[in-house]
Amino acid sequence: MNEPGGRKCRPPRFEHAEWPYEPNFRRVNGWRMHYIDEGAGAPVVLLHGNPAWGFLYRKFVKPLTAAGRRVIVPDMIGFGLSEKPVREQAHTLDGHIANLTSLLRQLDVRDATMVCHDWGGPTGLGFALSNTDRVRALVIMSTWAWPLPPAEFHERIFPWRIMHAPVVGPYLLGRHNALAGRGMYLSVVDRKKFAAMAQGIYEGILPDPGSRLLTWTWPRWIPLDESARGFARFEWLERELKKSELPTLLVWGKEDEVFDHKTFATRFKELLPHAEGPELVTGRHFLQEDSGAEIAQKINRFLDRIEGRQS
């Protein structure tokens, strides 16, 4: 691929038996965004959060494409094979929504199902609620979309509020990659399997402190009080969700301690009373690692129902 000005650039690649997909890149708001685009049919857009990347959805791609669906999995700017800006100002919530919007409009994505997890929740819902003509349905997993109150997890001094500290957060998450390492390890159920099969990949895709900037700046956008930087955007998300009539499926990890299903899935159900679920699966916060294939089939069945396909 070529960078602006004609300078040739060799895009990054990642080779793994469970991720045999051709890398694609588009320029979004000046940054190089990586995504995979597999299969044909109505698109399903799979959105990750912090500190993951598209690899989190490796168990989803084949079941969804085999069911006759197009699967698009972007790496958010700052993660995976996408460009990783080294300025905190590049990582506003509105900026990430704009990046996703640019990508999906360039790909002329329509009739899409947005699968939203963690920061892929406010980002994907931000796109969906401002581009309703391009969206067919929502799948919401272990996330949130309102300003307050935060999760009980996010009110704890350790580990969460310490990430907001100006020195300790960058030291632990930047220099020592604590979120991609220890953080993800503690956020799955089958930790032995995760350590053997995936943990090194999440750590290795963020090889140095400069590449890990978003792991410690994104947490600071979770509102803890009304002075938070993202407060107005989350107010808008909550307000627009209440108006939404998009078919919606809620899927939650039974063991999730970050966004527990009793609090957060219940709140989504209040905002979207027509939503199906919550359907509970084995999984802590990164439920895709423990129940990826099962969730993919739940998505297929949900879409079959709303599309009027025969089971």
pLDDT in tens, 6-15: 344 566 778 8
Per the prediction, the chain carries an average pLDDT of 89
Question: What would the mean pLDDT of 224-239 be, rounded to a whole number?
Answer: 91
The whole-number pLDDT of residue 310 equals: 55
Task: Say if residue 64's pLDDT is above 90.
Answer: yes
Quote the CA–CA distance of 63 and 108 in Å, as a whole number.
23
What is the 8-class DSSP label of residue 23? Answer: P
In a domain, 114, yes or no: yes
Alpha-helix runs per DSSP H in 16-167: 61-66, 93-106, 120-130, 152-155
First to last CA, the chain: 43
In a domain, 173, yes or no: no
List strand residue ranges (DSSP E) for the chain, in order: 24-28, 31-38, 43-47, 70-74, 112-117, 135-141, 248-253, 276-281
Better-predicted residue by pLDDT, 129 or 87: 129
- Among 46-60, 131-145, 216-230, 233-247, the range scoring the smallest mean pLDDT is 216-230
The whole-number pLDDT of residue 218 equals: 84
In a domain, 212, yes or no: no
In a domain, 9, yes or no: no
In a domain, 268, yes or no: yes
% of the chain with per-residue pLDDT over 90: 71
CA 245 vs CA 134, 242, 250, 279: distances in Å: 14, 9, 14, 19
What are the φ and ψ backbone dihedral angles of 29, each rounded to 5 degrees? 50, 35
State how many domains the chain has: 1
In a domain, 250, yes or no: yes
In a domain, 41, yes or no: yes
Question: Residue 150: CB partners within 8 Å, gap ≥ 6?
Answer: 222, 223, 224
In a domain, 184, yes or no: no
- Write the DSSP string, 147-184: SSSPPHHHHSTTTTGGGGSTTHHIIIIIIS-TIIIIIH
| Structural domain span for residue 259 | 24-153+231-307
Question: What would the mean pLDDT of 218-246 be, rounded to a whole number?
Answer: 91
Q: 146: domain CATH number?
A: 3.40.50.1820
Task: Say if residue 225's pLDDT is above 90.
Answer: no
The whole-number pLDDT of residue 60 equals: 98
Task: Say if residue 275's pLDDT is above 80.
Answer: yes
pLDDT in tens, 157-201: 565 566 665 655 665 666 656 777 888 999 999 999 999 999 999
The whole-number pLDDT of residue 1 equals: 45
**pLDDT grade, residue 151 (50/70/90)?**
confident
Place of tokens 């396909």: 309
The whole-number pLDDT of residue 11 equals: 63
The whole-number pLDDT of residue 160 equals: 58
Task: Say if residue 284's pLDDT is above 50.
Answer: yes
Asked if residues 155 and 161 have their Cβ atoms less than 8 Å apart, the reply is: yes
